[in-house]
């Protein structure tokens, strides 16, 4: 099943980081590495890496020091005692490896919401939340992308969920992709200032079969959503590309190479699966032609990409 895929922007460490992550998480693997040339990066080339971590697909690119990871987007890793008898031992082992050279944001310990939880940024700056989950209720994936709404968008997490559900649940392309729906929601109560009563302490929701989590934070943070982490929507047809582009794009200045920013500043990539096939199976000449064709594009045009691939 095609899933919405987190896309990670590295300076030059995409391949190294993918190997690091797949060595830490079981049932993980690198599925493809492609190098593209004559691109606007410091070296003139970029590695594009596809990999899977515990069933969650990721993509990564080495494209220069333009964007830095920050905790506005993190990845929750669920360790479920009902699925793994040694879940507590595994959470400790993964924490030890990810924390080497990194920064601890919340220590790994017991909290009111979990017997064992910790939040850190690894040596590349990517944020992870490791949690010993409560096995009650509907089962969640082992890795869940999570968004923290801060600064100008603090207090808008619930509005964002409703917006995303309106885009994806009403999409004519949703039913065959695993569905979109609301999950759980917990709100801040009175006396939890600076967070406003009623705003989102934690919520999760599903888009095209992929679970996401979100929260509001009214505390002072020196970061916001940026292009370091984007969400790639794989599309089979031009109609699908046109639909998501029209629904999501809210900043014409941010439109480039299939990238867009929505009304909350979160970055998405509306991406043709046909191009992925071209870039992984094509000859060096075909890949070069496709690269030069897509670089000046904003919204991707599948027909023009195919023409470039075929040398027309």
Cα–Cα dist 50/139, whole Å: 26
| pLDDT at residue 171 in the model | 77
- In this structure, the answer to whether residues 244 and 197 fall within a common structural domain is no
The token duo for 120 is 């850190």
Q: Is residue 151 part of a domain?
A: yes
CB 212 within 8 A of CB 180: no
Q: How many CB atoms lie within 10 A of CB 295?
A: 13
Last residue of a domain, one of 22, 38, 66: 66
* Over residues 53-71, mean pLDDT: 94
* Strand 181-187 to 200-207 pairing: antiparallel
Q: What is the mean pLDDT of residues 15-31?
A: 96
Q: What pLDDT score does 175 carry?
A: 64
pTM, to two decimals: 0.93
Residues 83 and 204 in one domain: yes
> Rounded to whole angstroms, how far apart are CA atoms 98 and 282?
35
115 & 17 share domain: no
Residue range 3-28: mean pLDDT, rounded: 95
What's the whole-number mean pLDDT along residues 235-260? 95
Would you state the pLDDT for residue 176?
61
Domain total of the chain: 3
CATH number, domain of 102, equals: 3.30.720.110
The rounded mean pLDDT for the chain is 92
Query: Pairing between strand 259-261 and 267-272?
Result: antiparallel
Q: Are residues 231 and 295 in the same domain?
A: yes
Question: What domain range includes position 267?
Answer: 227-312
Average pLDDT over residues 115-143: 91
What does the pLDDT read at residue 218?
Answer: 94
- Which of 47, 66, 85 delimits the end of a domain? 66
pLDDT in tens, 148-169: 999 999 999 999 999 999 999 8
Claim to verify: residue 107 and residue 173 sit in the same structural domain: yes
Instruction: Examine the domain organization and report whether 199 and 249 are in the same domain.
Output: no
**In this structure, are 148 and 85 located in the same domain?**
yes
Q: Between vectors from CA 131 to CA 27 and to CA 119, what angle results, nearest 5°?
A: 105
Q: What is the pLDDT of residues 190-227, one digit of tens each?
A: 999 999 999 999 999 999 989 999 999 999 999 999 99
CATH code assigned at 289: 3.10.180.10
Give pLDDT tens digits for 250-270.
Answer: 999 999 999 999 999 999 999
Q: Each residue of 295-305: pLDDT tens digit? A: 899 999 999 99
Question: What's the pLDDT at 140?
Answer: 87
Rounded distance, CA 98 to CA 22, Å? 12
Mean pLDDT of 240-254: 96
Residues 93 and 190 in one domain: yes
Question: Distance between CA atoms of 32 and 121, rounded to whole angstroms?
Answer: 25
The stretches of the chain forming alpha helices (DSSP H) are: 14-24, 87-99, 157-169, 238-248, 273-281, 284-294, 302-310
Q: Tally Cβ neighbours within 10 Å of residue 201.
A: 17
Domain end, chosen from 41, 66, 91, is at: 66
Do 178 and 241 belong to one domain? no
Q: What is the dihedral of CA 64, 68, 72, 76, to 10 degrees?
A: 70
Rg (CA), the chain: 20
Nearest Cα residue to 160 out of 240, 249, 287, 266: 266
């Amino acid at each position: 099943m095609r899933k919405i895929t987190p896309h990670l922007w590295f300076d030059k460490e995409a391949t190294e980081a993918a190997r690091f992550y797949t060595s830490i998480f079981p049932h993980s693997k690198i599925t493809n590495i492609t190098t593209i040339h004559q691109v606007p990066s410091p070296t003139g080339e970029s590695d594009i890496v596809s990999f899977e971590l515990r069933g969650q697909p990721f993509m990564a690119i080495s494209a220069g020091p333009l964007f830095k990871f920050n905790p506005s987007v993190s990845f929750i890793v669920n360790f479920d005692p009902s699925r793994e008898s040694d879940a507590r031992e595994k959470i400790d082992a993964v924490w030890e490896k990810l924390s080497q050279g990194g920064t601890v944001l919340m220590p790994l310990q017991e909290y009111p919401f979990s017997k064992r939880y910790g939040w850190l940024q690894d040596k590349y700056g990517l944020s992870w939340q490791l949690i010993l989950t409560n096995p009650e209720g509907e089962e969640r994936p082992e890795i869940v992308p999570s968004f923290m709404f801060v600064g100008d968008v603090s207090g808008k997490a619930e509005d964002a969920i409703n917006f995303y559900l309106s885009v994806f649940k009403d999409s004519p392309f949703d039913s065959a992709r695993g569905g979109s729906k609301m999950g759980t929601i917990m709100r801040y109560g009175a006396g939890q200032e600076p967070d406003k009563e009623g705003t989102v302490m934690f919520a999760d929701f599903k888009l095209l079969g992929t679970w996401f989590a979100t929260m509001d934070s009214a505390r002072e943070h020196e970061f916001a959503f940026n292009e370091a982490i984007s969400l790639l929507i794989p599309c089979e047809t031009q109609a699908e590309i046109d639909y998501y582009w029209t629904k999501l794009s809210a900043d014409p200045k941010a439109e480039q190479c299939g990238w867009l920013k929505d009304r909350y500043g979160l970055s998405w990539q509306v991406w043709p699966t046909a191009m992925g096939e071209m870039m992984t199976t094509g000859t060096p000449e075909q890949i070069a032609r496709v690269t030069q064709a897509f670089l000046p594009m904003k919204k991707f045009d599948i027909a023009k990409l195919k023409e470039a691939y075929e040398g027309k």
